[in-house]
Amino acid sequence: MPVQRAGIKASNPVGLAAGFDRHGEAVRGALGLGFGFIEIGGVTPKPQPGNPKPRLFRLTADRAIINRMGFYSHGADAVARRLDRYRHRGGRGTVGVNLAKNKTSENASADYATVAQTVAGLADFVTVNVSSPNTPGLRALQTEGELRRIVERVRDTLPPGMALWVKLCPDLGAAARAALGAALATMPVDGIVVANTTVSRPVGLHSPASAEQGGLSGRPLKTLAARALGDIAAASEGKVDLIGVGGIENAEDARQRLEAGAALVQFHTALIYGGSLLPYRIASALARSPATVCDTPPAFAAGARPNGRTPTLPSVTAQ
């Protein structure tokens, strides 16, 4: 069930979200689970230890996780060496790198550009992460001016044809989502990832760890992430591909995001609770579906996107 969307080619539209393999240590294994593409990271320019432990909590009763890792990273050079070794050993598959900034850095755009330049030619896409709740001041970068500055600087460091995504948080208000969706559609980006973890705590959480600080992912994020995707889809008017993330646990969840406007989907927390066969099961179920789940967005009928690339838009149907 191959797809070519958001500037990448993937064997299927089901991807591994950033945060699972933070350092590029499990690329071959993750792709072997049945994911069509994977995203490693977040990766910072320099190694950093992240926030103090404990910083990761399972909310088993809620099928959720809270993390406040704080971009625990081995650094861009270490990740690039692992990717280079993987490629030289014949490693294939679509691999992206989630770009992050060092906690003490005062120049976010320079940090993102440094990581992008370090992995250029080794990864297939990079994602500008301005939406983690665990690095002070990071979410303040989710404004049109800041994002345009970052996106243009990162784009200048990438080789032609390498895809660039931006990842947003689900906690923005409707007006902010509308403004960012419209603005990003005019920037040289290939995809918008919606959404990262949430600092909100939906009513009805049962796990004792639900009061811990950090970003919440998994089942409780499903409704909020789906609403954010719908708002960004409406605001961007089909001018840029969307990647749906947050609370996806099964093929029906994935199909709903695709039908709501996503070109691709990702998950991470569900892998913890659903087991290693989950990516294969979801991708297989989508392939068996008689309905098209990745239709061509109407705005693409007129031709190229604002970034100048004319997308190839295969239908994802049963094969």
Catalytic site positions = 132
Strand-pair partners of 58: 65
Position 258, amino acid: L
* Residues 264/241, Cβ–Cβ less than 8 Å: yes
Query: CB-based burial of residue 25 (10 Å sphere; 0-12 exposed, 13-18 middle, 19+ buried)?
Result: middle
Relative to beta strand 264-267, strand 14-16 is parallel
Closest Cα to residue 202, out of 72, 93, 89, 63? 63
